[in-house]
């Protein structure tokens, strides 16, 4: 049985990494996908791959920092597929890395806008569409960084990702009585293009793997499985949660 049969889902950051793997998995589980990211060519490849396995997906390229784009994604879901049931607000950026006193206000603002404000803008329009359907599941991609683990030189990333947890908790209480669940997904180290900025050498990769209790990093498909749990009825009594899918990095001391 397909867990998302006849559901409509928006996935942002869908051109690569966790977003791409999740869009493919959601489609395989029966969802109709609206895929969002900045790079049209990569989105086109994704749509072709989903179609080749019998799935249904459309793409819209744009910048999640733009409110008109957030609105357009929801309008596409409603116009082309009849509504919206699931939103995986996954697009993000590492932001500036290095000594905090060297971070410019412009770099801070861009990272917060991409990681946190964009999630708010997405939710603003997604929630209204979900209410018309009688409920739904809203998911933000946060991080263990700034939640269970403090790391030096990533103040902007930590602050913006931690903010998503507060946003989700507030929305969960605001819309829980109207059958909308809101959760954050907190991946550990994952083999994605974004993660390469943290692991630029073999030594760095080995160090990051060692931080995890499982002594490895995740494949994007593994994190997608956790997103599927939050999107589907498997998590029907889960809301306001910060779901760690982090390979034990939050508890590891070895």
Active site amino acids: 157
How many CB atoms neighbour CB 147 within 10 A? 19
The pair of three-digit structure tokens given for residue 225, joined into one six-digit string: 């499985």
CA-wise closest residue to 2 among 238, 159, 228: 228
Helices (H), the chain: 17-28, 40-52, 67-81, 105-112, 118-133, 155-175, 202-211, 220-231
Q: How close are the terminal C-alpha atoms of the chain, in Å? A: 41
Q: Quote the DSSP letter at residue 115.
A: I
CA-wise closest residue to 14 among 6, 41, 2, 161: 41
């Amino acid at each position: 049985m397909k867990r998302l049969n006849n559901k409509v889902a928006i996935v942002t950051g869908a051109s690569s990494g966790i977003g791409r793997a999740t869009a493919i998995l959601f489609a395989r589980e029966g969802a109709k996908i609206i895929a969002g990211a900045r790079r049209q060519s990569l989105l086109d490849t994704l749509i072709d791959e989903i179609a080749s396995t019998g799935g249904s997906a459309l793409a819209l390229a744009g910048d999640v920092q733009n409110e008109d784009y957030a609105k357009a994604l929801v309008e596409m879901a409603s116009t082309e597929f009849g509504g919206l049931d699931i939103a995986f607000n996954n697009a993000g950026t590492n932001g500036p890395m290095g000594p905090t006193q060297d971070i410019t206000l412009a770099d801070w603002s861009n990272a917060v806008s991409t990681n946190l404000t964009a999630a708010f803008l997405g939710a603003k329009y997604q929630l209204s569409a979900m209410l018309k359907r009688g409920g739904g599941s809203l998911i933000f991609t946060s991080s263990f960084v700034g939640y269970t683990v403090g790391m030096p030189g990533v103040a902007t990333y930590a602050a913006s990702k931690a903010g998503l947890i507060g946003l989700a908790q507030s929305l969960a209480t605001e819309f829980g009585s109207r059958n909308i669940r809101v959760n954050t997904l907190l991946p550990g180290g994952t083999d994605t293009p974004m993660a390469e900025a943290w692991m630029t050498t073999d030594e760095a990769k080995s160090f990051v793997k060692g931080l995890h209790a499982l002594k490895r990093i995740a494949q994007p498909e593994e994190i997608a499985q956790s997103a599927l749990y939050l999107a589907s009825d498997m998590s029907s009594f889960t809301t306001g949660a910060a779901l760690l899918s982090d390979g034990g990095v939050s508890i590891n001391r070895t």
